[in-house]
Amino acid sequence: MTDTPNYQLSQLRVLEAESIHIMREVVAEFERPVLLFSGGKDSIVMLRIAQKAFHPARIPFAVMHVDTGHNFEEVLAFRDKRAKELGVQLIVASVQEAIDNGSVSEPPDGTRNRIQTPVLLDAIDKHRFNAIFGGARRDEDKARAKERIFSYRDEFGQWDPKNQRPELWNLYNGRVHVGDSMRVFPLSNWTELDIWQYISEEGIEIPSIYYAHDRETFVRDNMVYAVHDVCRPKAGEEVSVRRVRYRTVGDASLTAAVESDADTVEKVIEEVSTTRITERGATRGDDKFSEASMEDRKREGYF
């Protein structure tokens, strides 16, 4: 008597299969797709899925990073290393260059997240990309929770939350006119915990900044920031060494760390599975300006 084969997929493999299907749909429907790759955990997972989707061929699109000039050094080094390993073209859209040539102005407070959007839109227009993969997930923010997997953007890169196309099951409407584009989110249905469990199962390397380590830090607005060239303590803000890690990585001037002893992927999974605060709520100062900060930025063309 032989054992009955088990054809059931785990939750992670169902999510992976959906993401692979989405990537193949985009490559089949669009002329010039590109994947946003910052060296963060979500875009690293997207690259792994892209490898699987098109294996044994190479990934059939370039990757692009909108570099604010204020990014963490460990993450940029990882970005360059991973792109080289995979042999994919890396396009860097530089916010610093845009400031230098006068196309954007640096805000008085020195933060640059807000001025990423015009740089992103200029790069999309310059390279004529009409489908842009992003690593956003619905569990990150309320504005992202209500966005479709295929998110239509008009000729100005703007998103209208009241004019989204319906998505029934896995049927996606990829029709765009010249100048329009589609933002595509293959990880929409994943959670932060799914991402970490996938990283564990696949044995994916990620930047060391995601694991607990000692840093000089200070507290501002109830968030823990590491001392950095672009993030210095103000008068009255006491500097002390804390054991911290990053749940998300972005502009160093606005991305906070969390106190943690999780220095392995197993410990991170345990930590994430018990937390009650979303990663953006815990770590992103730029999302605290108002309840609708993310939605406002997405209307302007941000991810």
Q: Is 258 found in the same domain as 277?
A: yes
**The pLDDT of residue 141:** 82
Are residues 149 and 241 both part of a single domain?
no
State whether 227 and 285 are in the same domain: yes
Q: What is the mean pLDDT of the chain?
A: 91
88 and 153 fall within a common domain: yes
- From the number of C-beta atoms within 10 Å of its C-beta (0-12, 13-18, 19+), residue 147 rates as buried
Instruction: Kindly state the average pLDDT of the residues 272-281.
Output: 81
Q: Is residue 2 part of a domain?
A: no
- Report how far residue 77's alpha carbon sits from residue 39's, in angstroms, rounded to the nearest whole number: 8
Lay out the sheet containing 33-36: strands in order across. 90-94, 62-67, 33-36, 131-133, 181-184, 150-153
pLDDT-derived band at 283, boundaries 50, 70, 90: low
Residue 288 is predicted with a pLDDT of 54
Q: Is the pLDDT of residue 29 over 80?
A: yes
pLDDT at 285 over 90: no
Q: Give me the pLDDT at residue 278, please.
A: 76
Give the range among 49-53, 223-227, 284-288 with minimum mean pLDDT.
Answer: 284-288
173 and 253: one domain? no
> Does residue 284 surpass a pLDDT of 80?
no
Q: What residues contact 150, with CB distance under 8 A and at least 6 apart?
A: 165, 167, 172, 173, 174, 182, 183, 184
Report how far residue 237's alpha carbon sits from residue 246's, in angstroms, rounded to the nearest whole number.
21
- Same domain? 185 vs 240: no
pLDDT above 90 covers what percent of the chain? 76
**What's the domain count of the chain?**
2
145 and 183 inside one domain: yes
Is 185 inside any structural domain? yes
Q: What is the pLDDT of residue 298?
A: 79
**pLDDT tens digits, one per residue of 65-83:** 999 999 999 999 999 999 9
Q: Identify whether 200 is part of a domain.
A: no
Going by pLDDT thresholds of 50, 70 and 90, the confidence category of residue 275 is confident
Question: Within a domain: residue 199?
Answer: no
Whether 184 and 211 share a structural domain: no
Residue 201 lies in a domain: no
Poorest-pLDDT segment among 103-117, 222-236, 258-272, 275-289 = 275-289
Range of lowest pLDDT (21-25, 149-153, 242-246, 276-280): 276-280
Q: Is the pLDDT of residue 287 over 70?
A: no
Task: Indicate if the pLDDT at residue 28 is higher than 90.
Answer: yes
Region 95-100: mean pLDDT is 96
Please report whether residue 4 resides in a domain. Answer: no
CA 182 from centroid of its chain's CA atoms: 16
Q: Is residue 268 part of a domain?
A: yes
Owning domain of residue 265: 206-289
Same domain, 52 and 160: yes
* Residue 145 · residue 139 · CB < 8 Å: yes
Kindly state whether residues 63 and 163 are assigned to the same domain: yes
Tell whether 31 and 174 lie within a shared domain: yes
Mark whether 185 and 119 lie in a shared domain.
yes
Q: Residue 5 domain-assigned?
A: no
> What's the CATH number where 28 sits?
3.40.50.620
Name, in order, each residue with C-beta under 8 angstroms of 208's C-beta and a sequence gap of 6 or more. Answer: 74
Percent of the chain at pLDDT > 70 equals 95
Residue 239 Cα distances to 210, 256, 259, 283, angstroms: 21, 14, 14, 18
